[in-house]
C-alpha cells in the first residue's frame, strides 16, 4: 500500500497545478447560509475545491481538489456549484468574492461590476450598491460603491484608528467631484 500524503502537501500541489497569479489572495468560501472549509475563492474570481479525505463505499479515498469551472449564464454572470451537506448549491462567483473579501451585503444592496462586464469577477471590479444606484447608473448619476478600501477605512474609523470626520469629508468630496464630472 502507498503512503498517504498529508492534506497540506495536497494543497500545495493543487495550487502549483492551477498556478498562482500576481496579487491573488485566497480566502475560505463564506455564504449567508454556511461557511465551507472545502472551498476557497480568490480575489481574481477563481474558486477551488480543496483536497480532503472522504469515506467511500470501499474505504477512505483522497479527493485531490480542483479549480472549479464557472458556467456562464445568459446574462454573462458566472456561477459555480458548491456541495454542502451532500447538497449542491449554485452560487454566483461575484457574490462569493464579495462575501469573502468585503463581508455580507448591506440590506437591499446589489452587486455591481464596475467595468460593466458580468464575467469579470475580480475584487477590484466589484462593489455593493443600493438598488437606486443600480437602476440609475446608466443615467450618469453618481454612486458610492462599498469597495474593499472603503470598508477598511470604515472599520479603521470604528476602531478609532482613522478620524471619522476625515473619512466622511473624503466621501463627500468624492461624491461632489463625481457629480461635477458627469
> In the chain, what are the domains?
7-146 (3.90.75.20)
In 2-109, DSSP assigns E strands to 26-30, 35-42, 47-49, 52-56, 59-63, 66-67, 71-72, 78-84, 87-92
The DSSP symbol for 50 reads P
Total residues found in the chain within this entry: 182
Which pLDDT score, from 0 to 100, does residue 136 have?
47
Which letter, b or e, does each residue of 56-68 get, where b requires 16 or more Cβ atoms within 10 Å of its Cβ? eeeeeeeeebeeb
pLDDT tens digits along 68-87:
999 999 999 999 999 988 89
pLDDT tens digits along 121-178:
999 999 888 765 444 454 444 445 556 667 677 777 777 787 777 877 776 666 555 4
Query: Which of 87, 82, 85 minimizes the C-alpha distance to 95?
Result: 82
Q: Distance (Å, rounded) from C-alpha 23 to C-alpha 116?
A: 22
Amino acid at each position: 500500500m502507498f503512503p498517504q500524503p498529508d492534506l497540506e502537501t495536497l494543497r500545495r500541489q493543487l495550487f502549483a497545478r492551477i498556478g498562482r497569479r500576481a496579487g491573488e489572495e485566497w480566502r475560505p468560501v463564506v455564504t449567508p447560509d454556511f461557511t465551507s472549509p472545502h472551498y476557497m475563492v480568490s480575489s481574481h474570481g477563481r474558486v477551488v475545491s480543496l483536497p480532503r479525505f472522504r469515506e467511500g463505499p470501499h474505504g477512505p479515498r483522497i479527493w485531490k481538489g480542483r479549480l472549479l469551472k464557472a458556467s456562464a449564464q445568459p446574462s454573462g454572470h458566472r456561477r459555480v456549484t458548491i456541495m454542502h451537506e451532500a447538497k449542491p448549491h449554485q452560487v454566483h462567483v461575484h457574490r462569493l468574492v464579495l462575501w469573502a473579501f468585503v463581508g455580507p451585503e448591506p440590506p437591499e444592496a446589489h452587486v455591481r461590476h464596475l467595468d460593466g462586464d458580468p464575467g469579470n469577477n475580480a475584487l477590484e471590479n466589484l462593489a455593493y450598491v443600493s438598488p437606486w444606484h443600480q437602476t440609475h447608473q446608466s443615467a450618469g448619476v453618481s454612486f458610492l460603491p462599498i469597495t474593499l478600501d472603503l470598508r477598511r477605512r470604515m472599520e479603521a474609523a470604528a476602531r478609532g484608528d482613522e478620524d471619522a470626520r476625515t473619512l466622511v469629508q473624503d466621501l463627500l468630496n468624492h461624491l461632489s467631484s463625481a457629480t461635477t464630472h458627469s
